[in-house]
A and B are shown apart, each in its own frame.
Chain A
């Protein structure tokens, strides 16, 4: 069983479809990349997996539990008039006196983003999105709940990877440099000891030397803590240094799956990137 299984995921903004039936599987301990040019749906995919965007169709399963399943709740509030009695008798749904589907009987509807966090999915958004008016320490404390097993927070581990965060613990996060904010965003997602980290373009807007360091830190986190990583990225070097395999996405669909041989070739990767 894959740790994360995305099947036929479709997401749209209003009437504009962005993801058109995405299939992605991530096994425990892997570092998997999603690569593609601007505007092909990478961020939409990662947000939908995190539960920050509603899906139109398809499922997302995390550790075997279905966390996104739009078909399950599509019928709530639907007036079904004369069919109500037979639906109620069948046990498929509870209906109100007016013949409206109140509640679908069966698995719970979508797990919201906060529920996915407490199941152990850590999310590092594009542009870091640290809480600027909270101190570094408070930002880290915000991540304590990203945990499925109620483990003790990993402050020592986070400070070992990113010593600067301990030095700046009382400083407002908004005063950190871009690279330090990225370290804080990773530390915040890491401190609760998650099972899966989702990263949205971790190299964006950060100077190359810091990008190299963060890439090395993420590899260490995967090696030493066994945390599975799914990331979206356009930076060719980051993809080559970090990913064990990749999915290439274009116009909202997965167009290729790239293994170690493909990843070692700049030409193959460049075909899917804006370079």
Chain B
């Protein structure tokens, strides 16, 4: 393999990693920290994409500002849904799945009724970088950097701040957290808002990379759910490690045999991973930690 091919493979890996991490991270926060399986996650991404494209074309905002509007609108959308519906469904896993599935269906059809089957596209910015006989979208490399930045940002937020400490305490024991002065209701709302904002960010960032229609969010749902299941309960460690593993398999297989085999290889890897690690990568790491503690 010549250096250019190797670079090509690296770029494909970074691209897959960015898609997987950005698609999964909002879902991982809402599931990992609140126990809600948000089947409308794809439509949170959809809201981000639509708000970006509409504010870019209809209002004429610069792309970056339109993306920020996309994130803001998805955050507000998430907050409204949490207050109206989701907050009544905490600790009711199946009910929350049915409700969010319903939201997903309503959103897809609602968007189709309001704006038709597709919106005008937004051109991918930044052009491309050339190397030997190959070239690669600079914007997609930027997305990889943003994905890494999001993971670092979330690590800082949840591991290094008082908010993160209180959020982790609330997940571990809601009642005791309340008796320590934590407003757990507000904590859930904040966490849901962060998860929604990240889904909106994904929609906003990927709107310029493909055509935007009512099924836009569904394109990311498979990656998102597979990553959360393989990663396990820990948002940062689980998402980053599962993202790395699945991106490696997907990009390697895609590079050799094409996109279809790449996706199939990723799903097979996920099935094997779930079989070997029922609690995901996080569960496996936790088992190792526990075994090490007991041996000391």
A223 at the A/B interface (Cβ < 8 Å)? no
Place the interface of chain B in its size category.
10 to 19
Q: How far is the CB of B185 from chain A (nearest CB, A)?
A: 8
Q: Considering the complex, give the chain A residue whose CB is closest to the CB of B180.
A: A142
A129 at the A/B interface (Cβ < 8 Å)? yes
Q: Is the interface of A mostly helix, strand, loop or mixed?
A: helix
Q: Which of B160-185 contact A (CB under 8 A)?
A: 162, 165-166, 168-169, 172-173, 175-184
Q: Considering the complex, give the chain A residue whose CB is closest to the CB of B176.
A: A129
Report the separation of the CA atoms of residues A146 and B182 in the bound assembly, to the nearest whole angstrom: 10
**A interface residues, how many (CB within 8 angstroms):** 24
Q: Considering the complex, give the chain A residue whose CB is closest to the CB of B234.
A: A133
Residues of chain B within 8 A (CB-CB) of A52 are 175, 178-179
Beyond A114-B181, A118-B181, A146-B180, is A141–B175 a contact (Cβ under 8 Å)? no
B293 at the A/B interface (Cβ < 8 Å)? yes
Task: Please tell me if the beta carbons of A146 and B181 are within 8 angstroms of each other in the complex.
Answer: yes
Give a binary string over A117-132; 1 marks a CB under 8 Å from any B CB, 0 the rest. Answer: 1100001010001011
Task: Please tell me if the beta carbons of A131 and B175 are within 8 angstroms of each other in the complex.
Answer: no
A42 at the A/B interface (Cβ < 8 Å)? no
Report the separation of the CA atoms of residues A188 and B184 in the bound assembly, to the nearest whole angstrom: 18
Q: How far is the CB of A44 from chain B (nearest CB, A)?
A: 13
Report the separation of the CA atoms of residues A146 and B179 in the bound assembly, to the nearest whole angstrom: 9
Q: How far is the CB of A16 from chain B (nearest CB, A)?
A: 20
Residues of chain B within 8 A (CB-CB) of A113 are 175, 178-179
Task: Please tell me if the beta carbons of A114 and B182 are within 8 angstroms of each other in the complex.
Answer: yes
Residues of chain B within 8 A (CB-CB) of A142 are 165-166, 169, 177, 180, 182
Task: Please tell me if the beta carbons of B179 and A131 are within 8 angstroms of each other in the complex.
Answer: no
A163 at the A/B interface (Cβ < 8 Å)? no
How many residue pairs bridge A and B at CB < 8 Å? 62
Task: Please tell me if the beta carbons of A131 and B169 are within 8 angstroms of each other in the complex.
Answer: yes
Q: How far is the CB of A57 from chain B (nearest CB, A)?
A: 23
Report the separation of the CA atoms of residues A142 and B183 in the bound assembly, to the nearest whole angstrom: 12
Residue among B162, B179, B180 with the most chain A CB within 10 A? Answer: B179
Report the separation of the CA atoms of residues A142 and B169 in the bound assembly, to the nearest whole angstrom: 8
A241 at the A/B interface (Cβ < 8 Å)? no
Q: How far is the CB of A99 from chain B (nearest CB, A)?
A: 24
Q: How far is the CB of B90 from chain A (nearest CB, A)?
A: 16
Task: Please tell me if the beta carbons of B179 and A125 are within 8 angstroms of each other in the complex.
Answer: yes
Q: Considering the complex, give the chain A residue whose CB is closest to the CB of B172.
A: A131
Q: Which of A186-203 contact B (CB under 8 A)?
A: 188
The contact of B173 among A116, A118, A129, A138, by CB within 8 Å, is A129
A sample of 16 inter-chain contacts (CB < 8 A) reads A113-B175, A117-B178, A117-B181, A125-B175, A125-B176, A129-B176, A131-B169, A131-B172, A132-B172, A133-B172, A134-B168, A141-B162, A142-B166, A142-B180, A145-B180, A146-B180
* Given A129-B176, A133-B172, A188-B180, 14 further pairs, Cβ under 8 A: A52-B179, A112-B183, A113-B179, A114-B179, A116-B179, A117-B179, A117-B181, A123-B176, A125-B175, A125-B176, A131-B168, A131-B169, A138-B169, A145-B180
